[in-house]
Amino acid sequence: MSKDSSPREAGGALDTKIATEVASSARSALSAKAARFTESVIREMTRLAMKHGAVNLSQGFPDFAAPEEIKEAARRAISQDFNQYAITWGAKSLRDAIARKFEATQGVSVDPEREITVCCGSTEAMMAAMMAVINPGDEVVIFEPFYENYGPDTILSGAAPRFVRLQPPDWTFDPAELAAAFGPRTKAIILNTPNNPTGKVFSRAELEFIRDLCVRWNAFAITDEIYEHILYDGTRHISIASLEGMRDRAITINSLSKTYSVTGWRVGWAIASPEVSFPIRKVHDFLTVGAAAPLQEAGALALTMPDSYYHGLAEEYLRRRTRLLEILTKAGFVCFKPAGAYYIMTDISRFGFRNDVEFARHLVETIGVAVVPGSSFYNDPADGARQVRFTFCKRDETLEAAATRLEKLHV
Ligand SMILES: Cc1ncc(COP(=O)(O)O)c(C=O)c1O
């Protein structure tokens, strides 16, 4: 059954003292919107990992080097004095490269002059897109479990979320439940494929079903595709923008972060029709003016990497997936094998802890491994109380260190 409710309120899992204090004072004096969500649990887990000297398998950032040629391109751009504001909606070189790559990989031809907005990461692109299309009272459909940013994104843009469950082990959705979540007030569906945290890759049939609902209810598909190249077992990534009828309904969001292992660069983008790009560009302009100019130049080079680069990336992650699945299975976790992205959702029922937060605390403080509690991916924390998420975008040594520490964990 789809639920009509607001995202996780402050006071949920792993709140810090500061978050609690801010939340209570905010109710009177500060923004009521900001008081309605907590700090990021994922980012908090990284801070806890550092505090306890734990192996960090929580936040999805690589602990290995970024490709040398991309780093060299960034250094060169600074030396060549790409050091002032780029064009607000993105350096021409990067927009041209994005358009070429989207056409080459998905067969969708877009106008880089009017349909691409470069932002500070896909995080800003998602927020700018939401603020550009949402009006008060609009509803947004979100698959659950969801990447935790989408909760605050809906609150800050003023949307009312309608959650639709992805069911393990394959993370399929019930078509009737999805259809029931759409209605006259639906403005958009947020789609994330390949998916964080489940590793689900939406199939063509599923995307066509979603497409039909978008067309029927005149809704946008805002689609986060930042793991597009991290795929396993012959799975293919399909952009919903490439389906008939979706060219002008899709807002396709992507970034350099995961594909090129540069999460700290903060360069992402939104591809949308000219009518939708126009307000996205305005919102983006007044949020951030623009992404880092030299890193956009380096991004233009990154997007010309040969196919062998993307194959190598997927192969490396396949190796890491295999190893982390072995480690976790041996330690007693029930693993949901991902078809894409670089996370493994696990069931922790066997360990006998009261909930995911208590278990994650035990792991980081006593065992020395940081993970993300499952509740941070659900509107109602109780729904994620039997799950935790691990990431494997880490060096072999990091995974082996986690393996050694997890030997202390008892089922
Ligand atoms: C699904 C998803 N979207 C967006 C982001 C953030 O991406 P960016 O670094 O481009 O802002 C992440 C980071 O983990 C993610 O998993």
Ligand 1 centroid, distance to 123 Cα (angstroms): 6
Which of 279, 313, 396 lies closest to 70 in space, CA to CA?
Answer: 313
Burial class (CB in 10 A: 0-12, 13-18, 19+), 352: exposed
The whole-number average pLDDT for the span 6-19 is 44
Q: How confident is the model at residue 327 (pLDDT cuts 50, 70, 90)?
A: very high
Q: List the one residue out of 215, 6, 254, 5 whose CA is nearest residue 129.
A: 254
Average the pLDDT over 100-119 and give the result. Answer: 98
pLDDT of residue 75: 98
With a cut of 70, say whether residue 18 has pLDDT above it.
no
Mean local confidence (pLDDT), 51-73: 95
Banded pLDDT at 17 (limits 50, 70, 90)? very low
Closest to 164 in 3D by CA, of 209, 110, 134: 209
- Residue 14 scores a pLDDT above 60: no
Q: To the nearest 10°, report the CA torsion of 139, 144, 147, 151.
A: 40
Q: Would you say the pTM of this structure is higher than 0.95?
A: no
Q: Rounded mean pLDDT of the chain?
A: 93
| Dihedral sign of CA atoms 351, 355, 361, 364 in order | positive
Separation between Cα atoms, residue 192 and residue 194, nearest integer Å:
6
pLDDT of residue 41: 86
Helices 121-133 and 150-157, interaxial angle, to 10°? 30
Residues 162, 139: contact at Cβ < 8 Å? yes
Which letter, b or e, does each residue of 216-255 get, where b requires 16 or more Cβ atoms within 10 Å of its Cβ? ebebbbbbbbbbbbbbbeeeebbbbbbbeebeebbbbbbb
pLDDT at res. 98:
98
Residue 255 beta carbon below 6 angstroms from any ligand 1 atom: yes
286 SS3 class: helix
Q: Pick the range with the lowest mean pLDDT from 32-46, 67-81, 248-262, 298-312.
A: 32-46
pLDDT, tens digit, for every residue of 179-235? 999 999 999 999 999 999 999 999 999 999 999 999 999 999 999 999 999 999 999
- Nearest CA, atom 6, ligand 1: 123
Q: Ligand 1, residues 224, 254, 343: which to mutate, most atoms within 8 A of Cβ?
A: 224
Report angle CA 291, 129, 276 to the nearest 5 degrees: 105
Is the Cβ atom of 195 under 6 angstroms away from ligand 1? no
Q: Is the CB of 121 under 6 A from ligand 1?
A: yes
Which 3 state secondary structure label does DSSP give 141? strand
The answer to whether 262 and 66 are in contact (CB under 8 A) is yes
Cβ–ligand 1 distance for 257 under 6 Å, the answer yes
| % of the chain surpassing 90 pLDDT | 87
* Mean pLDDT (whole number) for 241-268: 98
pLDDT tens digits, residue range 131-152? 999 998 999 999 999 999 999 9
Give the distance (Å) from ligand 1 centre to CA of residue 224: 8
pLDDT at site 28 = 63
**Among 192, 226, 259, residue to substitute to test ligand 1 (most atoms within 8 Å of Cβ):** 226
Q: Are 89 and 101 in contact (CB under 8 A)?
A: no
Query: Which atom of ligand 1 is nearest the CA belonging to 268?
Result: 10
**Does any ligand 1 atom lie closer than 6 A to the CB of residue 384?**
no
Partners of residue 3 on adjacent β-strands: 163
State the average pLDDT over residues 118-127. Answer: 98
Q: Is the CB of 148 under 6 A from ligand 1?
A: no
What is the average per-residue pLDDT within 3-22?
Answer: 45
Index of the ligand 1 atom closest to the CA of residue 124: 11
Tell whether the model's pLDDT for residue 8 goes beyond 50: no
127, 328, 329, 387, 393 from 344: Cα distances, Å: 26, 9, 11, 10, 11
Instruction: Report pLDDT for 2.
Output: 42
Does 268 contact ligand 1 (Cβ within 6 A)?
A: yes
pLDDT digits (tens, 9 = 90+) for 222-232: 999 999 999 99
Nearest-atom number in ligand 1 for the CA of 60 is 14
As beta bridge partners, residue 165 has: 144
Phi/psi for 35 (5° steps) reads -75, -15
Which atom belonging to ligand 1 lies closest to the Cα atom of 256?
Answer: 10
Q: Is the CB of 197 under 6 A from ligand 1?
A: no
pLDDT band with cut points at 50, 70 and 90 for residue 62: very high
Q: Is the pLDDT of residue 19 over 80?
A: no
pLDDT, tens only, 338-351: 999 999 999 999 99
Residues for the chain: how many in total? Answer: 411
Kindly indicate the confidence band of residue 358, based on its pLDDT and cuts at 50, 70 and 90: very high
Mean pLDDT of 372-400: 97
- Assess whether pLDDT exceeds 70 at residue 23: no
Distance separating alpha carbons of residues 190 and 153, to the nearest angstrom: 11
* Alpha carbon of 260 to ligand 1 centroid (Å): 13
- In angstroms, the CA 260 to CA 278 distance is 28
Q: Is the model's pLDDT at 22 over the cut of 70? A: no
